[in-house]
Amino acid sequence: MHMPTLRQLQFFDALARTGSFSRAAETCHVTQPTLSAAIKELEALLQVQLVEREARGASLTHAGEEVAARARTVLAETQDLVAAAHEAGKPLSSAFRLGAIPTVAPYVLPKILPKLREAYPDLKLYLREDMTERLLEGVRARELDAALIALPWDAPGIETEPLAEDEFLFIAPKSHPLAAKNGLDPEDLAEADVLLLEDGHCLRDHALSVCSLPTRAKSTEVSATSLQTLVHMVAGGLGVSLVPRLAADAGVTAGTDVSLRPFTHPLIGRTIGLAWRAGSPRKGEARLIGEVVRESLKGGLVPV
């Protein structure tokens, strides 16, 4: 059976995206006649007209749309093949794009980067800090190879692996009544002024669920943009809050005069985990990175 060339499909994909022979040729780094000829040949091979040549550029026919969509998946899967081969050959020896949520990134990345550098000297790690939803969008869109997030997080087409339990600690001004109370319980928070992170941070939702309150009930007026800010606000006497042990151990309260105390029991907190696209060719490499993270967090956090 006669088959098109991947090159032809690449050209046609570019043509479909740009809607112009010349611009498509540019993005493919070939001249316009080259691309024109290739498309013509593709049409001859498929025995269908794929594009309408118009005065100003080109538009796809119905068949063209169909072929363009299929071409995209073929190209994507070929890239996956290359990535998978590379992973199988020598894992973590090229570019890897890792995302992390803001309440994890500053406290985990400094720990793992040296270890990764040592274990995988050829690894070029690109980092992106963003909130869970946007990270997972990136993962799905193949812009990220994996993401450090808080589990559980249900998302179709995403696979996850838990790495460590991250306990929530209570934080309050030294003068606050709860700072001295014996046997600290989550229910004690019901009465207090609980400060939260901005909307979109999953830690905000976790904190709210700990307080057993609806999402918008608490302190909507003030919310912090980062854990560091949150600590400063607590230190300034604006209220109390929760801080994950991960951040506390990393010294997020250093230099401030706040009381930091664990809850008695049960252990309340979140699960730090790694997420990747289901069927990703770099799943194995993601797990390797997860292993390094797990190892790095072993000191303070409870591994899973």
Nearer to DNA, 55 or 254 (CB): 55
Region from 24-32, 129-137, 190-198, 241-249 binding DNA, contact rule CB under 7 A: 24-32
1 contact, one of DNA, its own copies, none, CB 5-8 Å limit per kind: its own copies
89 contact, one of its own copies, DNA, none, CB 5-8 Å limit per kind: its own copies
Q: Interaction with its own copies in 172-201: which residues (CB under 8 A)?
A: none
Q: From residue 170, give the alpha-carbon distance in Å to each of 246, 250, 265, 304.
A: 13, 16, 12, 23
| Angle (deg, nearest 10), helices 6-18 and 62-89 | 120
21 contacts DNA (rule: CB under 7 A): yes
Rounded to whole angstroms, how far apart are CA atoms 194 and 216?
12
Q: Kindly write out the interface string for residues 138-177 of this chain, putting x where it contacts DNA by CB under 7 A and - elsewhere.
A: ----------------------------------------
56 contacts its own copies (rule: CB under 8 A): no
Q: Which of 9, 16, 38, 288 binds DNA (CB under 7 A)?
A: 38
Give kind and range of the element (H or E) at residue 233.
helix 227-235
Nearer to DNA, 28 or 131 (CB): 28
5 contacts DNA (rule: CB under 7 A): yes
For the bound state, the minimum distance from the C-beta of residue 292 to its own copies, rounded and expressed in Å, comes to 22
Tell me the three state secondary structure of residue 297.
helix
Rounded to whole angstroms, how far apart are CA atoms 105 and 99?
8
Nearer to DNA, 29 or 265 (CB): 29
DSSP string, 28-52: HTS-HHHHHHHHHHHHHHHTS--EE
Question: Cα–chain-centroid distance for residue 112?
Answer: 16
Q: Kindly write out the interface string for residues 54-93 of this chain, putting x where it contacts DNA by CB under 7 A and - elsewhere.
A: -xxxx-----------------------------------
69: left (phi over 0), alpha (psi -120 to 50) or beta: alpha
Nearer to DNA, 5 or 175 (CB): 5
49 contact, one of its own copies, DNA, none, CB 5-8 Å limit per kind: its own copies
For the bound state, the minimum distance from the C-beta of residue 291 to its own copies, rounded and expressed in Å, comes to 19
* Long-range Cβ pairs for the range 204-212 (8 Å, 24+): 206/150, 206/168, 206/242, 206/270, 207/168, 207/241, 207/242, 210/168, 210/186, 210/242, 210/268, 211/186, 212/186, 212/187
Polymer length in residues for the chain: 304
Binding positions for its own copies, rule: CB under 8 A: 1-7, 9-10, 45-50, 61-63, 66-67, 70-71, 73-75, 77-82, 84-86, 88-90, 281
Binding positions for DNA, rule: CB under 7 A: 5, 7, 20-23, 29-34, 36-41, 53, 55-58
